[in-house]
Amino acid sequence: MPAAANLVEDLRRALGAEGVRAEPLDQRLFSKDAGVTRGEVVAVTFPRNAVQVSQVVLIAARHGYPIVARGAGTGLAGGAVPSQPAVLIVTTRMDDVVVDEANRTAWVGPGVINLDLSRRTASLGLHFAPDPSSQAACTLGGNVACNSGGPHCLAEGSTVNHVLAVEFVDARGQILTVGGTAPDPAGLDVRSVVVGSEGTLGVVTRILVKLTPNPPAVKTMLLAFSKVSDAAATVSEVIASGIVPAALEMMDQPMVRAVENFVHADLPVAAAAVLLAEVNGHVAAVDAEADVIISVGRRHGATEVRLAADERERLLMWKARKSAFGAIAQIAPDYYLHDTVIPRNRLVEALEEIYAIARRKDLLVMNVIHAGDGNLHPQLVFDGSVPGQLEIVKSAAVEIVEMSIRLGGTLSGEHGIGLEKRDLMSLVFSAVDLDAQARLREAFDQDHRFNPGTVLPAGSRCFDFGRSVAEGAWV
C-alpha cells in the first residue's frame, strides 16, 4: 500500500489544501461519532460537490483505502466510524438548498442541517417532517443513511417516506440518481434501498425531499402517571381508538427529573412516567382527538393533564423532551443510548427487564421512548474513565437487545446497525437473509470500498458459511 503521505498529496491536488485534513488531531477528532466506538482515520476530506466526491472515491481506491461518509457525527451506532484505516468524506460543506414551492419539494445537499431546512421553508408554510432529537445538529445525509425518525415519525413516517430521489457516487466514481420527481416512478424502487443503507452503497451528494405543509392547528398535551403501566395502557388504548397522534412520547421518572433540572419546564417530577402527546390538522379534528387522548389518560389514572396554553408553552414542552440526552451531562460524563423496538403491548415488560438489567450491572438507566411505535431509547449513564465500566455498559446493552428480540421486537428503530449491532444481526436474520443482503450490497459495491465491516457481520455471504450452491444450501 502506498504511503499515506502520497494519498494526502493527491487528495489536496483534487480538493485544495483547505479541503483535506490529515494532522493527528484531525484524525482523532473524526475517528468516532456520538457513540462509544472509535476507529482509525487516514485523511479527512471536505468535498463541495458530487464531482469532488467522485475524485475522492477514485483517489482512495487507487491508494487502496476504503471510504466512510460522515455528516455531523451525531450518529450513535458507529455508522460513521471506520472499521479499518479509511478516508473520511465529510459532507457538511455540501449544503445547497433549492426549493420548488409549487411542487412542495427541495433538492438539498447532504450537509444541510435538518432543522435549518424547516427554518428556511417556514415562510412558505412548509417543513421537513422527520425530526430526530438531534435535528438542530444532524444533517440530511445522515438522516438518509440511517432512515432517521424522531418524535413525529409516528404519523408522518420516517425519512424514507419523505425522500423522492437520491443522487450518489458509486464505487466506480459514477454520479447516479435513483428515484425522481414523480411520487411513484416506474421500475424498481432503488431509492428506498439507498435510504437506510448506512453509507455502504455509495456517498449521497444530493437529496430530493418532500416538504410537508404546516398544519393549521396543533395541540400538545402532557399527561403524568403514578405507574408506568398506566402510561403504557394509555398509549395502547389511544392507538386502538383509531387515532394516530402526530407524536406520543414517554419519559420515566429518572429522565423527567434530569430534564427538569436541565430545562426548568415545570415537569411533574413526582410522576413515575410522563406522556407528551401531540395532534395536528384541522381545528375540529384536533379538538376532538385531543379530547379522546385526555379522556383515555384520565381513565387510566392520569394524575395530571396539562394542555399547552400557547405556542411558548408548547415549545417548552418539546424543548424538555428534546433535551433528554443533553440533560445527562449533569449526572455523568458518558452515556450509552440504545435504540431497539418492541411491540407496544410489551412496553411495561420491556421496561421492567431494562431496570432489572441495570440493577444487576449496578448501572443507572434512564428511559425516553417513542411510545407510539414502541421505539425504546434506554440511556445507560456512566463514567468511561472508570476501568472496566464501558465493558459492563456494553454487556448490558447486548442484554437489552436480546430482550427486545425475545419480546418480538427488532434491532433498531432509527439509529441504524453500524458497528454497534452488526454482530447481533443473526438474532433477527437467518443465514439466507444475510446472504441476500450481502449480495444486494455487492451489486452496488463489489469490492466493499464503502464503509466496510459495518451493518453485516463477517460470514454473511453464502460461501463464507462453508456450504455451496452445488450442495443445495442456497438458491
Q: How many residues can be counted in the chain?
A: 475
Query: Above 90 in pLDDT, residue 382?
Result: yes
> In this structure, are strands 273-281 and 340-341 parallel, antiparallel, or unpaired?
unpaired
**Per-residue pLDDT at 399:** 97
| Structural domain of 355 | 332-424
> Do 83 and 104 belong to one domain?
no
Please check whether residues 101 and 205 belong to one and the same domain. Answer: yes
Is 411 in the same domain as 342?
A: yes
Looking at residue 200, which CATH number applies to its domain? 3.30.465.10
Q: pLDDT band at 3, cuts 50/70/90?
A: low
Percentage of the chain lying above the pLDDT 90 cut = 91
In the listed set 90, 120, 143, which residue is the last one of a domain according to the structure? 90
pLDDT, tens digit, for every residue of 121-155?
Answer: 999 999 999 999 899 999 999 999 999 999 999 99
Query: Which is higher by pLDDT, 443 or 1?
Result: 443
Any bridge partners for residue 219, and if so which? 279
In angstroms, rounded to a whole number, what is the distance separating the alpha carbons of residues 454 and 168? 19
State pLDDT tens for residues 262-293: 999 999 999 999 999 999 999 999 999 999 99
pLDDT at 208 over 90: yes
Cα–Cα nearest to 142, from 123, 163, 172, 164:
163
Residue 186: which pLDDT band, with cuts at 50, 70 and 90?
Answer: confident
Pseudo-torsion of CA 185, 418, 362, 354, nearest 10°? 20
pLDDT (average), residues 9-31: 97
Average pLDDT over residues 51-62: 98
- Checking if the pLDDT of 365 tops 60, the result is yes
> Tens digit of pLDDT for each residue in 320-330?
999 998 898 89
Dihedral of the alpha carbons of 65, 67, 73, 75, in degrees to the nearest 10 = -110
- Domain count for the chain, please give it: 5
261 and 284 inside one domain: yes
Last residue of a domain, one of 150, 183, 213: 213
Report d(CA 132, CA 324) in Å as an integer.
Answer: 12
Question: Crossing angle of helices 311-322/253-263, nearest 10°?
Answer: 120
Co-location of 119 and 197 in the same domain: yes
pTM metric for this prediction: 0.92
106 shares a domain with 25:
no
Residue 15 has pLDDT above 80, yes or no: yes
Asked whether residue 376 falls in the same domain as residue 400, the answer is yes
> What average pLDDT does range 38-43 have in this prediction?
97
Residue 467 has pLDDT above 70, yes or no: no
382 CB-contact burial (10 Å; exposed 0-12 / middle 13-18 / buried 19+): buried
Asked if residue 475 has pLDDT above 60, the reply is no
What is the spatial distance between Cα 120 and Cα 132, in angstroms, rounded to a whole number? Answer: 18
For residue 107, what are the β-bridge partners?
98, 208
Instruction: Clarify whether residues 83 and 101 are in a common domain.
Output: no
Question: Based on C-alpha coordinates, what's the Rg of the chain?
Answer: 23
Q: Which residue, among 197, 111, 110, has the nearest Cα to 454 in the 3D structure?
A: 197
Predicted confidence (pLDDT) at residue 371 exceeds the cutoff of 60:
yes
Q: Percent of the chain, pLDDT > 70?
A: 96
Say if residue 103 is in the same domain as residue 198: yes
Looking at the fold, whether 110 and 207 belong to one and the same domain comes out as: yes
Q: What are phi and psi of 243, to 5 degrees?
A: -90, 130
| Residue 474 scores a pLDDT above 50 | no
Q: What is the mean pLDDT of residues 443-447?
A: 95
Average pLDDT of span 317-321? 95
Helices (H), 362-411: 389-406
DSSP 148-169: ---TTHHHH--GGGGEEEEEEE
Provide mean pLDDT across the span 440-446: 95
Whether residue 203 is found in the same domain as residue 254: no
CATH of the domain at 415: 3.30.70.2740
In sequence order, the 6+-apart residues with CB closer than 8 A to the CB of 419 are 37, 77, 78, 79, 81, 83, 453, 454
C-alpha distances in angstroms, 422 versus 143, 338, 432? 19, 14, 16
CATH number at residue 36: 3.30.43.10
Query: Of 291, 325, 359, which residue sits at a domain end?
Result: 325
pLDDT at 311: 94
Integer angstrom CA distances of residue 398 from 339, 385, 404, 405, 417: 11, 21, 10, 11, 13
The CATH number that applies at residue 306 is 3.30.70.2190
The set of cell numbers assigned to 214 is 404546516
For residue 463, what pLDDT is reported?
Answer: 55
At residue 394, does pLDDT exceed 90?
yes
Instruction: State the DSSP H helix or E strand holding residue 224, giving kind and residue range, or none if neither.
Output: strand 217-225
Whether residues 65 and 9 share a domain: the answer is yes
pLDDT tier, 197 (very low <50, low <70, confident <90, very high otherwise): very high
Q: Is residue 472 predicted with pLDDT exceeding 70?
A: no
Question: What is the pLDDT, as a whole number, of residue 332?
Answer: 93
